[in-house]
Structure 1
Amino acid sequence: MDYQSQLASILFTLRHGAQCARLPGWDEDIANQVLTEAARFTAAEIDPLDGLTERAPLVLEEGRVKLPPHIVAAYRAYRDAGWPTLAGAEEHGGQHLPHVLASAVSEMLAGASLSFQLLIGLTAGAIRVITSSGTPEQRAAYLPRLVSGEWLSTMCLTEPQAGSDLGQTRTIARPQADGGYLLSGDKIFISGGDQNLTDNIVHLVLARTPGAAAGVKGLSLFLAPAVLPDGRRNAIACLRLEEKMGLHGSPTCQLAFDDAEARMLGGEGEGLARMFEMMNAARIEVGVQGVALAEVAAQRSRIYAAGRRQGKGGDGAGPVPLHRHADVRRMLLTQMALVEGCRALVYRVDVEHELGANQPLVDFLTPVCKAFASDSAVEAAQLAIQIHGGYGYLTEYRVEQILRDARITQIYEGANGIQAITLADRLLRMAGGAPREAFAREVEDAMEAAPPVARGALGDAKRHWEDASAALMSRSGAGAAAIDYLRLTGLLAAGAAWGRLEAAADQAPHPARTRAAAAFFREAMLPECGHLARRVVQGIDVGVHSDEVFNA
């Protein structure tokens, strides 16, 4: 029942869904070699962690987090094998391979153990921010160590009173005579906020300087290492480890900054803009996590449904494998359709981000990748539990863990409701319509590549999306319709991804499975776009109710 890296499916998606040949210097032989070795490494070193992390709790001692020895050993193996360097710049010790390869490796790691992948997942975003916003001295001090995996990173945004509303951030950064700052405040829900995997942790912290403007305009971004250059520990303490529904092998910390020494990254008041580069990278990374978790759910479901015999078949003979029953087939096909469609969508956006030539499309699809893929992971996990029946509710088959681990992906890095508002109230309405038009062209390009039967279904879905888009733009705000619009856009984006995959089905690792999943998505899932569009056009005014309805 352990996870198996889907090497052949990933390579097929990179080739035909993401169309990685568009990347300068893309070498398919190198990609094959790298991912083949990544699959071997994941199976040998990371896959055994997942069950162990459920039983070996994390420990907080004297303000420091101690992870179980097996996680520490796995990270050292990961670092010593050079995996952190994959997409790093050569000048900082990296291999300078395409970032989408690192994303494919992340999918394998997250499928084997999301707790482990979450410990390392934020570092790539930190590297991007420091590369684009850091001074030469900051880049020289931090990037080689982050690229090598010698150090790991966090993203410190959330505070007890400031979750999605970062304008309420209270952490203060007081300037010092030497050009540095002293940070004071508390941050919560910090993934990997403390750990004993690395000798140092680079905290990227949002804070405001004295007298700064109110709201998000007054935020600046700071680098605060856990260990200072002279070897002293910085005044950063882990106050508590959160006890969570899932991700039991990943330390989620409350951190206290008590006059912690820091340096500003970028200019004063530029914090949110600088941090968004890391946040958007993290949102695509959550999309990768969603793909991985949906893949695990689909794998375990297929294995169980093929081996469990129950009930009679159409010929009256029995017992038969569960996958002979229509409702079970419906659930299995839903999982397959979500996995492959989301994988192609997320990797394609990753490639577009690296190409840098179509930023409006990347902007439009980043919240869709994050929300639609994480929603798909939860849906696939729910289906896995249902397919397993009573056994799915037990810990023995480890499908209930998928749901527990997946549920947070709909919340962190910007709750999916926030992603919906970003899409429907900002990106859709952006002056000039560049993001909206870029997505429309993306769908049209996919329709040209798709088989005729898929072209018609995509055309219908696109017209529903256009109707919904026009209705939203005619109003002052999307309101409660935003979440329906996001799912509508996600279904259309995944449908476009499927159009490219279906056109190349003969070259898929399992052509019959690819055709079956493509047909199911097209015939059973894409028509939901019409229902969603009608709901958006009609609108749901939840503002008409008085506060009395919602008061405690």
Structure 2
Amino acid sequence: MIDYRTPLPDLLFALRHGAGAARLPHWDDETAETVLTHAAAMVDEVIAPLDPVGDIEGTKLVDGRVVMPQPFVDAYRQFAGDGWQGLAVPEEDGGQGLPHILASALSEMLSGACITYQMVLSLAHGAMRTLAASGSEAQRAAWIPRLAAGEVLATMCLTEAQAGSDLGLVRTMASPQADGSWSISGGKIFISGGDQNLTGGQIMHLVLARTPDAPAGVKGLSLFLCPSHLEDGSRNAISVVRLEEKMGMHASPTCQVAFDGARAEIIGAPGEGLARMFTMMNAERLDVAVQGVGLAEVALQRSLAYANERKQGRAGKDGGPDFIAKHGDVRRMLLAQMALAMGCRAMVMRTLVDLELGDRPALMELMTPVAKAFATEAAMEAADHAIQVHGGYGFLREYRVEQILRDGRITRIYEGTNGIQAATVAGRVIRLDNGRALTEFKAEVEESMGLASPAFAGALGRALAAWDEASAAMLGRRDIGLTATSYLRLTGLLAFGAAWARLEAKAEHAANPARIRAVAEYVRDWMLPETRHLADLCRNSAELGSLPDGVFAS
């Protein structure tokens, strides 16, 4: 069925009127439109056709090396050769020096077109940010230009078999050497892009490891830069032990990687590893939110195409058969998909613009986990609707909507499960700095209310009141196990509603103003009322900790 097509008018509308990209001091609207127009043409012509190839062919481990489908290799050469990997990298580092939000818009396009291709490339951007923030001058000079040019890709090596979300259990060891370098030994699992042949296997691994005599827990972790190849061109002591077979994301190589005395250099000082790595982790969490937007968009596109060509039954009094896009229940699902795709786009892009401005760090502490969780849940809802709109055909691989569900399911898990994001918000973020994140978030919602129509402002005000009640209840709870996910969804739904308030207010600037207004009405009357129910759940006094352990015995 249809390949993804970049929704360029919707992207530009969201950037201008949802995200407020003009707030960036180096924003130029004409340049942005020109760049994204060229990016859209490249994505639609070169990247989108890769998606079914990657799902069918997948990746292979041949003689200890990962081999990706040849069309991926060819596409990457063109992509890197045209400078797309360095879009937002400073010019002095070999990039084009454009706003990071444009690179994120490109990331959304790539995610909708072929998320497995996007996934292999994405970690390089987080790695460049990590080096820019924490690397030495020599490390930045040696690696950022190569990453920007696409000569090298990157990985983030955190997880181990016994240390998933609990990084304090990491056992990989780094030992200092006489020449000032380090030697890393240990194993890492679930390493996206742990090996690939897009760059001839040239990879910069960022590795969390423990140094000798380091304290237990996360305070004993340090961050290391471990290249796949040494200066003389020989392979470092790094090997791929296993290539995982997965539910989806078949063309994104997920590897078990062994380090056997691999040469590395430290980033920062011993014991600073987790703090240094958080630059990359937070960047990747927002990139996963962008992935969610791209997946919701492609689910919508395939649903609309099918619903406007499939005839079945009668939608009214006239004789049928009618296009199923006229049927009430199908229209309900299409409206939900439209709401999720455009609303999450505006919400996530606004968060990314705020991150780039850097003037509201408390709000970013809240919105990073909220955007990651809400957008990825939205992607799965949109994919589920896509399967249902297609009926029995949605269950067939041929129509390529079940693939969206398979590929996207991991987004709710990696870069911190959505349950961890919920616990982070409810257990830590809302308590920081005397609730500053809550204050800044509330001000953001109230600003959106001031722009909205009276009807939408009223609905958003009721949702905000429900959120206020829930926030007070959460601050008083000891056991957040039952309520953290409800509170996260409530916060996300309120941010999503605020994003839609901004879009509704500028509907006349959209490519399809009638659609924006109709979807905004759906959000107002059929989605925002859920906030009342979620607030009631947050106020429920039940606690999981009071249940006997025997309830959960295997």
User: Normalising to structure 2: TM-score of the pair?
Assistant: 0.99
Tell me the residue number matched to 2:511: 509
Deviation of 1:316 (Å): 4.2
Tell me the residue number matched to 2:359: 357
State the SS of the aligned residue for 1:184: strand
Alignment pair present for 1:106 and 2:112: no
Q: In 1, distance between residues paired with 2:180 and 2:208?
A: 17
Q: In 2, distance between residues paired with 1:40 and 1:50?
A: 16
Q: In 1, distance between residues paired with 2:104 and 2:51?
A: 20
CA deviation map 1:118-146 (0-9, x unaligned): 01011111001101111111111111101
Tell me the residue number matched to 1:68: 69
Deviation of 1:57 (Å): 2.9
After superposing the two structures, state which structure 1 stretch, 153-162 or 172-181, moved more: 172-181
Tell me the residue number matched to 1:5: 6
Tell me the residue number matched to 2:439: 437
Deviation of 1:209 (Å): 0.3
Tell me the residue number matched to 1:263: 265
State the SS of the aligned residue for 2:428: helix
Alignment pair present for 1:314 and 2:316: yes
Q: In 2, distance between residues paired with 1:417 and 1:467?
A: 22
Amino acid at match of 2:346: A
Amino acid at match of 1:146: L
Q: In 1, distance between residues paired with 2:283 and 2:218?
A: 20
Deviation of 1:97 (Å): 0.3
Tell me the residue number matched to 2:341: 339
CA deviation map 1:268-294 (0-9, x unaligned): 111111111100000000010000000
Amino acid at match of 2:330: V
Q: In 2, distance between residues paired with 1:459 and 1:57?
A: 48
Aligned ranges for residues 107-256 of structure 1 at < 5 Å? 107-199=108-200, 200-256=202-258
Contact in 2 for aligned 1:94/1:148 (Cα 8 Å): yes
Tell me the residue number matched to 2:82: 81
State the SS of the aligned residue for 1:196: coil
User: Normalising to structure 1: TM-score of the pair?
Assistant: 0.99
Tell me the residue number matched to 2:54: 53
Deviation of 1:299 (Å): 0.6
State the SS of the aligned residue for 2:162: coil
Q: In 2, distance between residues paired with 1:346 and 1:168?
A: 32
Q: In 1, distance between residues paired with 2:149 and 2:29?
A: 24
Q: In 2, distance between residues paired with 1:393 and 1:203?
A: 38
Contact in 1 for aligned 2:479/2:544 (Cα 8 Å): no
Deviation of 1:62 (Å): 2.1
Tell me the residue number matched to 1:464: 466
Q: In 1, distance between residues paired with 2:51 and 2:315?
A: 36
Alignment pair present for 1:422 and 2:395: no
State the SS of the aligned residue for 2:191: strand
Q: In 1, distance between residues paired with 2:527 and 2:182?
A: 53
Q: In 2, distance between residues paired with 1:547 and 1:361?
A: 37
Gaps of at least 5 residues in structure 2 are: none
Aligned ranges for residues 393-408 of structure 1 at < 5 Å? 393-408=395-410
Amino acid at match of 1:268: P
Alignment pair present for 1:486 and 2:516: no
Alignment pair present for 1:96 and 2:97: yes
Tell me the residue number matched to 2:34: 33
Q: In 2, distance between residues paired with 1:333 and 1:190?
A: 37
Contact in 1 for aligned 2:205/2:226 (Cα 8 Å): yes
Q: In 2, distance between residues paired with 1:197 and 1:33?
A: 28
Contact in 2 for aligned 1:59/1:67 (Cα 8 Å): yes
Contact in 1 for aligned 2:480/2:543 (Cα 8 Å): no
Deviation of 1:230 (Å): 2.1
Q: In 2, distance between residues paired with 1:54 and 1:341?
A: 28
Amino acid at match of 2:502: R
Q: In 1, distance between residues paired with 2:233 and 2:197?
A: 16
Q: In 2, distance between residues paired with 1:450 and 1:114?
A: 34
Q: In 2, distance between residues paired with 1:276 and 1:523?
A: 39
After superposing the two structures, state which structure 1 stretch, 186-195 or 540-549, moved more: 540-549
CA deviation map 1:6-54 (0-9, x unaligned): 0000000000001111111211111111000011001111011001112
Amino acid at match of 1:308: R
Contact in 1 for aligned 2:59/2:67 (Cα 8 Å): yes
Tell me the residue number matched to 1:522: 524
Gaps of at least 5 residues in structure 1 are: none
Contact in 1 for aligned 2:53/2:69 (Cα 8 Å): no
Contact in 2 for aligned 1:337/1:517 (Cα 8 Å): yes
After superposing the two structures, state which structure 1 stretch, 170-179 or 492-501, moved more: 170-179
Tell me the residue number matched to 1:325: 327
Q: In 1, distance between residues paired with 2:482 and 2:156?
A: 30
Amino acid at match of 2:358: G
After superposing the two structures, state which structure 1 stretch, 324-333 or 413-422, moved more: 324-333
Amino acid at match of 2:186: G
Amino acid at match of 1:332: L
State the SS of the aligned residue for 1:223: strand
CA deviation map 1:235-294 (0-9, x unaligned): 010111000000111100000001111111111111111111100000000010000000
Q: In 2, distance between residues paired with 1:230 and 1:440?
A: 56
Amino acid at match of 2:315: G
Amino acid at match of 1:275: M
Residue among 293, 299, 302 paired with 2:301: 299
Identity %: 57
Matched residues, number: 552
CA deviation map 1:500-549 (0-9, x unaligned): 00000011111111111111011100100000000000143222222222
Tell me the residue number matched to 2:25: 24
Contact in 1 for aligned 2:15/2:346 (Cα 8 Å): yes
**Shift >6 Å, 4+ stretches:** none
Deviation of 1:434 (Å): 1.3
Contact in 2 for aligned 1:425/1:477 (Cα 8 Å): no
Contact in 2 for aligned 1:93/1:144 (Cα 8 Å): yes
